[in-house]
Structure 1
């Protein structure tokens, strides 16, 4: 098991921290509900409604979080509507989903006494806030270019500080990685659509011949291809998992990090933030 800034890794399974927080909260609220059931002698129908609604609230919240996010970025998703169902881009509005899930839970359990419901909701929200604060505080996060340099296709060493002066997108990838391959056309097109942004394809652990054969076979002509044979970038940025994408502004400050497959709308959303006043 490995812990990164964005997810909990258990072998091939990668759970984003927000998902871990939600599941932890649901399990603890379920346990607290069992306590109230015995303490207040809930009838069996009330307990069944409670336990069922707890898990359906998760799905209601998940769907609502996706819908709110898509509606907030409708201009990005209208061009590629099929990307709406590609939830692997992790485009969710956390608080929108939280409100919808809690609302569903309260409505389904409207026959229960108000005090236990208030305690359970408070417990769930407190878990989300406290654990999220703990993760952000304890886990190390690099917020600017690390002091690293990598070899390019011309066998020249290129320091990461070379990219300071323009917004830069650094993608950690490998040819054997299916989601890396699926997002390649999105990144390749973005390189043409955004000439004022550097797109750096930082290969993880493969040889020059392997990478060149892959790019040639699929017709990808990236301007900046670098090699990270030891995975130093992933270690420095605490990003264990492929694909991973890092978004730096022109000053070399990290604006966003994304672990997992990118869709075109999600990539455009991140790129828009690179030139926003808050990223300067």
Structure 2
């Protein structure tokens, strides 16, 4: 599961957690303060969320600075899922404590709301993880190579697989292609499969040559059967499978090299087959 309709699911989880925290903080504050003061509780929860998100993003960029600086525009790709959650939570709570030093009548309400929001986010994350563990394995589809040779996706089992669904007319697909080219060099023990959706071989070859891309596994899916099988709602969509072919992570939208590296590195501890880069900090 990567989305609800056309909307990515992880931002919706953050929104749901915020709404829960905001609502509880306002209700509790209204019981203990004036009718006007309780509105400040909701505003404080909102401000703390913004501080947390900005900190989480900056902390993630700092952690993967070499990958982001190799393509500076990727710093702006905030939809790539690159956030260091524990740094964001710590910063948000610290900001909340600082702001309530002179508003102690709101402190209990906003911290209770924050706790409820964080719990909501953790529970939603656990449900999503469980749903992905129960998701269909690496699909047993027969696709085509650029030369027209049948290729079975299922035959790639045995190594971790990153499956990217893309098309040359899709702007975020085009932007993320160089990141996948770099990632396949950095993670040689992972198979990166770029599955084009619905385009003719000459279109795909012309695009790859024009962009100067050297991608090891580019397959054609003329009928977009992969999108239907995986339930993808849009392009690009990327699926991370472990060595046994089980889905470990899914993302809808553009990915950066920093985000790809973070996902593969964080998932390595949950897999029997280690997703380790060729070097700890391989030069790009």
TM-score range, shorter chain: 0.7 to 0.9
CA distance in structure 2 between the partners assigned to 1:139 and 1:201 by the alignment: 21
Asked if 1:97 is matched to 2:88, the reply is: yes
The 8 Å contact of residues 151 and 158 in structure 1, kept in 2 or not, is answered as yes
Match of 1:177 in 2: 170
- Of 8, 17, 29, the residue aligned with 2:21 is 29
Match of 2:34 in 1: 42
The 8 Å contact of residues 172 and 202 in structure 1, kept in 2 or not, is answered as yes
CA distance in structure 2 between the partners assigned to 1:271 and 1:206 by the alignment: 29
Deviation at 1:199, TM superposition (A): 2.8
Deviation at 1:277, TM superposition (A): 7.6
So what's the TM-score if we normalise by structure 1?
0.79
So what's the TM-score if we normalise by structure 2?
0.78
Q: Counterparts in 2 of 1:36-115, with a 5 A limit?
A: 36-42=28-34, 44=36, 46-74=37-65, 76-77=67-68, 79-80=70-71, 83-110=74-101, 111=103, 112=105, 114-115=107-108
The 8 Å contact of residues 142 and 236 in structure 1, kept in 2 or not, is answered as no
CA distance in structure 1 between the partners assigned to 2:187 and 2:238 by the alignment: 16
CA distance in structure 2 between the partners assigned to 1:100 and 1:211 by the alignment: 45
Match of 2:278 in 1: none
Deviation at 1:242, TM superposition (A): 1.4
**Count, aligned residues:** 271
Q: CA RMSD in A?
A: 3.1
Q: Counterparts in 2 of 1:89-238, with a 5 A limit?
A: 89-110=80-101, 111=103, 112=105, 114-137=107-130, 141-142=134-135, 144-191=137-184, 197-238=190-231
Deviation at 1:172, TM superposition (A): 0.8
Structure 1 residues 229-238 or 149-158, which shifts more?
Answer: 229-238
CA distance in structure 2 between the partners assigned to 1:132 and 1:268 by the alignment: 20
CA distance in structure 2 between the partners assigned to 1:207 and 1:72 by the alignment: 40
Gapped runs of 5+ residues in structure 1? Answer: none
1:50-75 Cα shifts (integer Å, max 9, x gaps): 23322211210101111222333445
Compared CA separation, residues 126 and 95, structure 1 to 2 (3 A) = same
